[in-house]
Amino acid sequence: MKHYLWLAFYLLAGISYAQKRTYTLADMPFEIDSITGGVVYKGVIKTPGVTADQLFSQAKLVLSTLYPKDNQINQAEDQAKGLIRGRGRVFIPMNSTRVGETNWKAYYEVPIEIQVKDGEYSYLISSIDMVNKGKKTSLNTEISKDLPTIRQQVLSLEEYDRSLRSVRPFIKFIKELKRGMKPHSSDLFSWLR
């Protein structure tokens, strides 16, 4: 009987602890750039056995599907350096709750830089702007204003989940990028053409 009481105690203590867990900036899926104070998403992905030329071709294909021509602002490439840069729009569905006001499209202007080498590629997303009803706002400016507070802020699970929802478009964008950059994934986007 004692064993059951101890087991129940440990289970309740574990559940109680899990509910009290707090989150900080380190738990978020992005970093804060030490120079600009802006949000940065970056990663290095290993792709054993894949050449830089193959990755470069794949990166061009991925950017053309993530940023279709009507969403693409600009794109530059340098195959000798294994570098592709693009800037395009990631749309956010916005619904109006006001009577007589129609729904509108807000979007993020998301710049991305993909660097390829034999066996790996890296991506860097920074200097993101939000355009809402024609007004452009730099996320770097907004975040750098509150950076000391943000660095010290401790979030509850509910606040953390709300924060994750706000960065969901970028997480989805990065997942699509990674999926598209996998070797032999050119068929993934065939339905978009």
Residues with Cβ within 8 Å of residue 144, at least 6 apart in sequence: 36, 37, 38
Q: Does some domain include residue 17?
A: no
**Average pLDDT of every residue of the chain:** 77
Query: With contact defined as beta carbons under 8 Å apart, do 45 and 181 qualify?
Result: yes
Determine how many CB atoms are found less than 10 A away from the CB of residue 63.
21
Strands 129-132 and 72-78, bridge-based pairing:
unpaired
**Both tokens of residue 121?**
């590629």
| Dihedral of alpha carbons 93, 36, 174, 57, sign | positive
User: Mean pLDDT lowest for which of 10-14, 102-106, 126-130?
Assistant: 10-14
- Supply the pLDDT for residue 84: 93
**Both tokens of residue 164?**
């994750």
Q: Does some domain include residue 12?
A: no
Q: For residue 115, is pLDDT > 60?
A: yes
Question: For the domain that residue 112 is a member of, what is the CATH number?
Answer: 3.30.530.80
User: Rounded CA gap, 31 and 27, in Å?
Assistant: 10
Q: Does some domain include residue 13?
A: no
Task: Report residue 55's pLDDT band, with 50, 70 and 90 as the boundaries.
Answer: very high
Mean pLDDT throughout 26-45?
82
Domain total of the chain = 1
What are the pLDDT digits (tens) for 170-184? 888 899 999 998 876
Please state the pTM of the whole predicted model.
Answer: 0.74
User: Mean pLDDT lowest for which of 26-30, 115-119, 178-182?
Assistant: 26-30
Q: Does some domain include residue 102?
A: yes
What are the pLDDT digits (tens) for 158-173? 887 877 777 888 888 8
What is the extent of the structural domain holding 63? 22-182
Q: Does some domain include residue 52?
A: yes
What are the pLDDT digits (tens) for 40-49? 899 999 999 9
Task: Report residue 11's pLDDT band, with 50, 70 and 90 as the boundaries.
Answer: very low
